[in-house]
Amino acid sequence: MSCGNHYLPKKQNQANVQPIYIHIPRSRIIILKLGKQYRRLYLDVQPTTMAERRARLAEAQKAAAIVRQVNPKPKYTVTVIIGPTEVVCDLELLQSNCDFFARGKHGMAYGLPACDVSLDAFMIIYKWMAKPNEIILPPMLMSVFKAAMYLKIQVLIDQFMVEFRDPYTAREEIGFHMFFGLHKMNVYVPFRKTLRVHKYFLTLIGTPEFLNLWPNALVSLLDSPCICVNSEVEVLIAVILWLYHDYQARCSHTDQLMSCVRFDSIPLEAVLQLRQQSAVTGLGKLLFRPEIEKFLKRAPSHNNNIRYCSRRIWIYDQLCEYHHDAHCPKRNFITLAQFHDYQALLRTAPDLHWWHRHQLNPYVHNCRHEKCRRLSGPHGRR
């Protein structure tokens, strides 16, 4: 739908008068009422594919099902229009929780900008109005917060503000989504207070949010000794994945990011194997670029590898097939294909799988990997 505020005089915008959208059924026109003035807006009529139409229909049916579940037979209703989707909502429920609809009347229609109030966020808020203890999933936190800000739902905003003041009380993935969302909304929050990622790091790498992290935030994350990994090679792969996403625009951050990798914990032989087995892929070709290769040469030989066990928090994840324990010489020999397979498993794992990763005991020198246990004989890991 076309945005209405573009057509309004500056004086009315500054007066902060609440706009009312009146939709004419079976029409491409929406009337915008602002005080005593009316403006005519037109719905976007861009051609869509059959798949897009089916997706829109599925969204509309899902939204309608949520509305029926909350209140099957509301006495007064209004139509909320978000993008191409129209949802008939209970007016009394909206007015009891939100001042935005305070002047609404039965049969009226409200058009909400999808850039501020997404359909998913609005339906979560609508369920929250009927059931205030509604659980909001971490990926939707900031979308709901942004919608609550637009609709001026002060009770919900206050609940978010409590979490923002003390993010350490939240789980790691919740804290990360808060951090990422606030920065996306251009709300500054110091990194040390919000970017608290430990066990969640390996799961985070496979998310779209990781690829869109700001460079200074990524440096703060990778430089932390508290991120939990199977091997320092995973940190190197994380840097390569982020750079490869848009290397032309991100190449200027190469030195800063590669300096976060603890190459004294990676033997040179492992680096050479990683390059050799991934040379044919576009991602692997980055390892041959001069600005990255100069850092790879810092890795010591296998015989002189110090293998600091205190440089990171080494963990064990039962889904990781290439895992070797901290003192195992095979711990750093990881390929990109193995890492991608591991990430594919993490994407299908339960939401809280990351919480069950175990920190390794630095005093145990036997490896839990099946091949290493066979080589160590009957006196392997107990």
Task: Enter the tokens of residue 246.
Answer: 């848009």
Distance, in Å, from the CA atom of 360 to the CA atom of 209, rounded to the nearest integer, reads: 28
Task: Say which residues have a Cβ less than 8 Å from residue 141's Cβ, sequence separation at least 6.
Answer: 160, 174, 177, 178, 181
Distance, in Å, from the CA atom of 200 to the CA atom of 234, rounded to the nearest integer, reads: 13
Distance, in Å, from the CA atom of 128 to the CA atom of 141, rounded to the nearest integer, reads: 13
C-alpha distance from residue 226 to each of 155, 177, 344 (Å): 35, 18, 24
Q: Which amino acid is at 211?
A: L
**pLDDT greater at residue 193 or residue 14:** 193
Distance, in Å, from the CA atom of 48 to the CA atom of 163, rounded to the nearest integer, reads: 40
Average of per-residue pLDDT across 72-82: 85
Distance, in Å, from the CA atom of 7 to the CA atom of 276, rounded to the nearest integer, reads: 59
Beta carbons of 79 and 109 less than 8 angstroms apart: yes
Model confidence band, residue 343 (pLDDT cutoffs 50, 70, 90): very high
Confidence check: pLDDT of 179 > 50: yes
CA 135 to chain centre: 17
Strand partners, 341: none
pLDDT in tens, 272-318: 888 888 877 778 888 888 888 888 888 887 666 555 555 788 899 98
| Domain locations along the chain | 197-379
pLDDT in tens, 145-173: 889 988 888 888 888 777 766 655 667 77
Distance, in Å, from the CA atom of 197 to the CA atom of 226, rounded to the nearest integer, reads: 8
H or E element at residue 168 = none
Ranges assigned E (strand) in the chain: 20-23, 29-34, 37-42, 77-82, 85-90, 109-112, 228-229, 313-316, 358-359
The phi and psi torsions of 200 (rounded to 5 degrees) equal: -75, -10
- Calculate the average pLDDT of the chain: 79
